[in-house]
């Protein structure tokens, strides 16, 4: 039987990004990709974009090791909106001002805003090298790579910026983020051979030097109301193109984020809300078919 049967969970969202948080620090058991998929089961499951699983800390000074699953069972290296939800839950149980978590992509520091409602997550240093994203072939300048869809002489979307925030992102710059069928192009681009580990696909419109509007097709999860790492990847890519300042407001379908690409150490700080919706216990029936 899965360690998740009868385990408690919290349903949350990070500006509309559907998040389930499961704190498994009370057990040494681990979960599998099949367990993660089972939690999202259409019947009796909880529809989520990302599942954040807290297990016992491996390093001193950290609160937990956090594993991040997409609803297709694949693991993500990072999830910005999910980390704000994890921070909210963990801050609720103590009076610390800052928390450190370990993820596959490294250590992540979080702070609670003075209003108690906004959370800042240090998303680390973005990577731009083609092997870091990764891309299947060498591109020296990742501010705009040769990639397009649609007719060769009249491409519909082309020349995305690419970046890694611990997970792969491609950002297409457009005038109107709603003018494209992202549900159709998203999966094609997510699975394009140029991205050996697939990629999160964003359409972004630069409104002015301090404001970007965007929406994202997420690797392993599909269209979401918000993708925090995509907001970070978009902000740093726009700044690299010298089209925005290093601190920008981002408007996502589910809400607003502030992204600050800190000059002193190149870390990306993401600030936004995290909402608790309800908590419950996972129905053991969800895991019956799981080996």
Ligand X SMILES: N[C@H](CCC[C@H](N)C(=O)O)C(=O)O
Which residues are tagged catalytic?
79, 227
> Closest separation between CB of residue 83 and ligand X, Å?
8
Q: Which of 176, 177, 199, 178 is CA-nearest to residue 187?
A: 199
> Closest separation between CB of residue 247 and ligand X, Å?
19
Known binder of ligand: residue 102? no
- Convert 139-177 to b/e letters by CB count within 10 Å (16 or more is b): beebbbbebeeeeeeeeebeebbbbbbbbbbbbbbbeeb
CA dist., res. 2 & res. 17, Å (int):
26
* Residue with smaller CB distance to ligand X, 21 or 79: 79
| Residue 34 DSSP code | H
From the list 34-42, 145-153, 221-229, 239-247, the region that binds ligand X by CB under 6 A is 221-229
Distance of CA 157 to the CA centre of its chain: 23
* Residue with smaller CB distance to ligand X, 88 or 283: 88
Contact criterion met (CB below 8 Å) for 251 and 8: no
The strand pair at 98-103 and 65-70 is best described as parallel
Member of 21, 64, 76, 274 binding ligand X (CB under 6 A) = 76
> Closest separation between CB of residue 277 and ligand X, Å?
16
Asked if 218 is part of the footprint of ligand X (rule: CB under 6 A), the reply reads yes
Asked if 17 is part of the footprint of ligand X (rule: CB under 6 A), the reply reads yes
Known binder of ligand: residue 103? no
Q: Contact letters (x/-) for ligand X, 225-244, by CB under 6 A?
A: --xxx---------------
The strand pair at 168-173 and 161-164 is best described as antiparallel
Residue identified by tokens 């990629």 is 199
Contact criterion met (CB below 8 Å) for 100 and 108: yes
Q: Which of 108, 63, 104, 59 is CA-nearest to residue 84?
A: 108
Asked if 186 is part of the footprint of ligand X (rule: CB under 6 A), the reply reads no
| Residue 285 DSSP code | G
Return the residues of window 29-58 that contact ligand X according to CB under 6 A. 49-50
Known binder of ligand: residue 71? no
> Closest separation between CB of residue 167 and ligand X, Å?
3
Total residue length of the chain: 291
Known binder of ligand: residue 45? no
Number of residues that bind ligand X (CB under 6 A): 19
Known binder of ligand: residue 200? yes
Task: Return binding residues for substrate.
Answer: 17, 50, 70, 80-81, 167, 200, 218-219, 228-229
Binding site for ligand X (CB under 6 A): 17, 49-50, 70, 76, 79-82, 167, 200, 218-221, 224, 227-229
């Amino acid at each position: 039987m899965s360690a998740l049967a009868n385990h408690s969970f919290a349903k949350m969202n990070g500006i509309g990004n559907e998040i389930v948080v499961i704190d498994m620090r009370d057990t040494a058991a681990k979960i599998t990709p099949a367990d993660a998929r089972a939690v999202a089961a259409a019947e009796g499951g909880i529809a989520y974009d990302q599942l954040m699983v807290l297990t016992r800390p491996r390093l001193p000074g950290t609160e937990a090791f956090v594993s991040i699953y997409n609803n297709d069972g694949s693991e993500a290296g990072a999830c910005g909106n999910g980390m704000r939800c994890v921070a909210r839950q963990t801050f609720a149980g103590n009076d610390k001002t800052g928390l450190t978590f370990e993820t596959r992509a490294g250590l992540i520091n979080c702070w609670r805003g003075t209003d108690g409602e906004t959370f800042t997550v240090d998303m680390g240093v973005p990577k731009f090298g083609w092997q870091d994203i990764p891309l299947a072939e060498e591109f020296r300048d990742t501010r705009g790579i040769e990639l397009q869809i649609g007719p060769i002489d009249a491409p519909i979307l082309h020349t995305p910026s690419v970046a890694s925030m611990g997970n792969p992102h491609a950002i297409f710059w457009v005038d109107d983020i709603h003018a494209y069928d992202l549900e159709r192009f998203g999966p094609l681009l997510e699975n394009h051979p140029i991205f050996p580990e697939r990629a999160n696909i964003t359409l972004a419109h630069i409104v002015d030097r301090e404001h970007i509007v965007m929406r994202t097709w997420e690797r392993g999860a599909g269209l979401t109301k918000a993708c925090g790492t995509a907001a970070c990847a978009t902000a740093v890519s726009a700044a690299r193109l010298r089209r925005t300042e290093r601190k920008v407001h981002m408007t996502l379908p589910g809400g607003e984020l502030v992204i600050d690409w800190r000059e002193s150490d190149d870390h990306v700080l993401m600030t936004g809300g995290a909402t608790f919706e309800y908590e419950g216990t996972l129905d053991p029936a969800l895991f019956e078919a799981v080996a």
